[in-house]
Chain A
Amino acid sequence: MSRQFTPKVVTANALLEGDVVYLTADDRWSRHHHEAELLEDEAHAEIRLLHAQGQPDRVVGAYLAEARAGAAGPEPVHFREAFRTRGPSNYPHGKQEEGAASRRP
Chain B
Amino acid sequence: MYRYDEFDETFVRNRVAQFRAQVERRIDGGLTEDEFKPLRLMNGLYLQLHAYMLRVAIPYGTLDSRKMRQLAMIAERWDKGYGHFTTRQNIQFNWPRLRDVPDMLDALADVGMHAIQTSGNCVRNVTADHFAGAAADEIADPRPVAELLRQWSTDHPEFQFLPRKFKIAITGSPNDRAVTRAHDIGLRMVERDGAPGFEVVAGGGLGRTPVLGQVIRDFLPRADLLPYVEAILSVYNELGRRDNKYKARIKITVQETGLEAFRALVEARFAELRGEWEGADQAWLARIEADFAPPSLRRGSTAPYEDARAGDPVFRAWSDTNLTAHRDPDHAIVTISLKAHGETPGDATTEQMRVMADLAEAYGHDELRISHEQNVILPHVHKADLPRVHAVLKSAGLATANVGLISDIIACPGMDYCALATARSIPVAQAIAARFDELKLEHDIGPIKLKISGCINACGHHHVGHIGILGLDRAGVENYQITLGGDGTETAAIGTRAGKGFAYDEIVDAIERLIHAYLAHRDSAEETFIDTYRRLGPAPFKAALYPEEADRHAA
A13 vs B416: C-alpha distance when bound (angstroms): 16
Q: How many A-B contacts if CB must be within 8 Å?
A: 73
Of B26, B32, B52, B80, the contact of A18 (CB 8 Å cutoff): B52
Task: Report A10 CB to chain B, min CB distance, Å.
Answer: 16
Chain A positions within 8 Å of B50 at CB level: 18-20, 84, 87-88, 93-95
A78 to B415, CA, bound (A): 12
Per the bound structure, the CA–CA distance linking A17 and B98 in Å amounts to 6
A16–B416 contact, CB under 8 A? no
Asked whether, in the complex, the Cβ of B415 is within 8 Å of the Cβ of A56, the reply is no
**A74–chain B nearest beta-carbon distance, Å:** 17
Q: Which residues in window 1-55 of A have CB below 8 A to B?
A: 13, 15-20
A82 CB → nearest B CB, Å: 10
Report Cα–Cα, A88/B49, bound state, in Å: 9
Select from chain A the residue with minimum beta-carbon distance to B51. Answer: A18
Do residues B98 and A61 form an inter-chain contact, with CB atoms below 8 A? no
Task: Verify B415–A83 contact, CB threshold 8 A.
Answer: yes
Task: Write out, one digit per residue, whether chain B residues 393-409 have a CB within 8 A of any chain A CB (1) or not (0).
Answer: 00000000000000000
Q: Are B97 and A18 in contact (CB under 8 A)?
A: yes
Complex CA distance for A93 and B49, rounded to whole angstroms = 12
Q: Is the CB of A60 within 8 A of B477?
A: no
Q: Is A90 part of the binding interface, using a Cβ–Cβ cutoff of 8 Å?
A: yes
B300 within 8 A of A: no
Q: B33 interface residue, CB < 8 Å from A?
A: yes
Docked-complex contact A90 and B427, CB < 8 angstroms: yes
State how many angstroms separate the Cβ of B393 from the closest Cβ of chain A: 22
Q: Does B99 contact A (CB under 8 A)?
A: yes
Chain A residues with Cβ below 8 Å from B417 are 88
**Residues 82-107 (chain B) with a chain A CB within 8 angstroms:** 94-99
CA of A56 to CA of B98 in the docked complex: distance in angstroms? 14
Q: Which of A65-105 contact B (CB under 8 A)?
A: 77-80, 83-84, 87-91, 93-95
Query: A77 near B476 (CB under 8 angstroms)?
Result: yes
B48 CB–A CB distance under 8 Å: yes
Please tell me if the beta carbons of A90 and B98 are within 8 angstroms of each other in the complex: no
Inter-subunit contact B426/A19 (CB<8 Å): no
Using CB atoms, name the residue of chain B closest to A60: B33
Q: Which of B486-544 contact A (CB under 8 A)?
A: none
In angstroms, how far is the closest chain B Cβ from the Cβ of A81? Answer: 10
On whether the beta carbons of A79 and B477 are closer than 8 Å, the reply is yes
Given A18-B97, A90-B416, decide whether A13 and B47 contact each other with a Cβ distance below 8 A: yes
* Residues of chain A whose beta carbon lies under 8 Å from any beta carbon of chain B: 13, 15-20, 56-57, 60-61, 77-80, 83-84, 87-91, 93-95
